[in-house]
Amino acid sequence: MIRSSHACFGGTQHFLEVDAASVGPMRYTVYLPPGPPAPVVYCLAGLTCTEETFAIKAGAQRMAAELGLALVTSDTSPRARRVPGDDADWAFGQGAGFYLDATTPAYRGWNLETWIVHELPALVEAEMPVATDRRGILGHSMGGHGAMSLALRNPGRYTSVSAFAPIAAPSEVPWGKKAFAGYLGDEGWAEHDTCALLASGRRLAARLLVDQGLADNFLDTQLLPERLELACAAAGQPLTLRRHPGYDHGYWFVQSFVADHLRFHADLLG
């Protein structure tokens, strides 16, 4: 169901909602550029965000229209499948789904990987004039973790992958440890950790682009870009990791470099 539509840089920004089989009622957005059916970049937001955050704050539509890219965003957790205590901590539960399919009894039905990787693209590609064979994925923070880990877990699904300030090694940091314990219990953490996936032999289809601000309050405690750098070097995974003095973790940072990311995706998606 389309909730609203708005003309934007010659294209259209749609805000939608669906009762999804994987996660229940879920809101998402689609930006369609002017012109023929466009390749799609799936844009994953971070902790506390909704489907509107990237669509409204990133300022990506102008460049997407110029490059001929469709942009899709999603809410960051199921909002109708409530669990007692799921809103007690801003870094876990509501707004913090971590883009995985939960296996613990309390959170079964929080199937964010199934939703993002399979159900959402099938929906978008069936109902919108977009290309069905060219997909990219990018993310910010928790969404950066999602973009990288989902692409590694689903080879061939995404042609291009990039991230802003990603949680690179969630098994090693407080945000990831809390999320993985709550959603996965004691098992399966390595299957959702980018550095561990690279160490296990998984690879991306092309070079990975990552931007990181050096004034980011979470840099040394939650993000650990140096772990990603080492993991990619050991695995032979091509990586461009750009470090930017003065930039923090927020959307002023994302706005500053989103055009570079979209050009990166457009070059790979053709």
Catalytic residue among 141, 149, 160, 162: 141
Q: Where are the domains of the chain?
A: 2-269
Q: Is 249 a catalytic residue?
A: yes
Catalytic residue among 145, 192, 249, 265: 249
Residue 231: predicted pLDDT:
98
Average pLDDT for 100-116: 97
Catalytic residue among 74, 192, 216, 261: 216
Give the 3-state DSSP-derived string for 164-180, with helices as H, strands as E and coil as C: ECCCCCHHHCHHHHHHH
Q: Is 140 a catalytic residue?
A: no
pLDDT bin (cut points 50, 70, 90) of residue 255 is: very high
Domain 2-269 is classified in which CATH homologous superfamily? Alpha/Beta hydrolase fold, catalytic domain (3.40.50.1820)
Determine which helix (DSSP H) or strand (DSSP E) holds 147, and give its type and residue range: helix 142-153
Residue 81: predicted pLDDT:
84
pLDDT bin (cut points 50, 70, 90) of residue 44 is: very high
Residue 208, pLDDT > 90, answer yes
Which residues lie across from 111 on neighbouring strands? 101
Name the one residue in this structure whose structure tokens are 């955050």.
Answer: 53
pTM exceeds 0.95, yes or no: yes
CA proximity to 167, closest of 200, 143, 137, 198: 143
First to last CA, the chain: 30
| Residue 14 dihedral angles phi and psi, to the nearest 5° | -105, 140
Q: Is 141 a catalytic residue?
A: yes
